[in-house]
Each structure stands twice: as structure tokens, then as C-alpha cells.
């Protein structure tokens, strides 16, 4: 019988795939442009379309509008 405490292996921290990083950056760039043009109520579908990704990809990176805006502020603030 397998010891339940050993059944699960520790999760490894993986680096995101190159395409995932590229999509993340494209989403931030698209959100930046959309928020400048339309304010923070810009369509998430429009942001995904502008980034060239599916809406599911956007939600895979950002669970909601607030998370997207927070990531944009954090990334852009760090760049300054």
C-alpha cells in the first residue's frame, strides 16, 4: 500500500513558456492602449482581440479586470 504522505510529489516551479510570456506582454501592451483610449472600462474582449489572443488566454493570465489593471500598473511602475 502506498503511504498517502508520499503520494504527492512536491510541485516544481516552472518558468512560463516563451509564448505565454509573449502573450502576457502583448496583453499588457493592448490593455495599456485600450485603457488610454477608453478608460478602465475598456472591453476585455477588445483587449484580447487587440493582443491577438483568445479571451480565454486573457483570463488565463488575469482572472478579472482589476488583476489586469494591477499587473499593468505594477509592470509599468517597475519599468520607470
On average, the pLDDT of the chain sits at 88
Q: Residue 41 belongs to what domain range?
A: 17-79
What is the per-residue pLDDT for 7? 56
Give me 18's grid cell: 516563451
pLDDT in tens, 23-38: 999 999 999 999 999 9
Q: What is the CATH number of the domain that holds 73?
A: 1.10.10.60
- Is residue 3 over pLDDT 70? no
Mean pLDDT of 64-75: 96
Domains identified in the chain, total number:
1
pLDDT in tens, 47-60: 999 999 999 999 99
Cα separation, 63 vs 70, in Å, equals: 11
Amino acid at each position: 500500500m502506498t503511504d498517502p504522505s508520499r503520494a504527492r510529489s512536491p510541485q516544481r516551479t516552472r518558468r512560463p513558456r516563451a509564448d505565454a510570456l509573449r502573450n502576457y506582454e502583448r496583453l499588457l501592451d493592448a490593455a495599456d492602449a485600450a485603457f488610454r483610449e477608453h478608460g478602465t472600462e475598456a472591453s476585455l474582449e477588445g483587449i484580447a482581440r487587440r493582443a491577438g489572443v483568445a479571451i480565454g488566454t486573457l483570463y488565463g493570465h488575469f482572472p478579472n479586470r482589476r488583476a489586469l489593471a494591477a499587473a499593468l500598473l505594477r509592470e509599468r511602475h517597475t519599468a520607470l
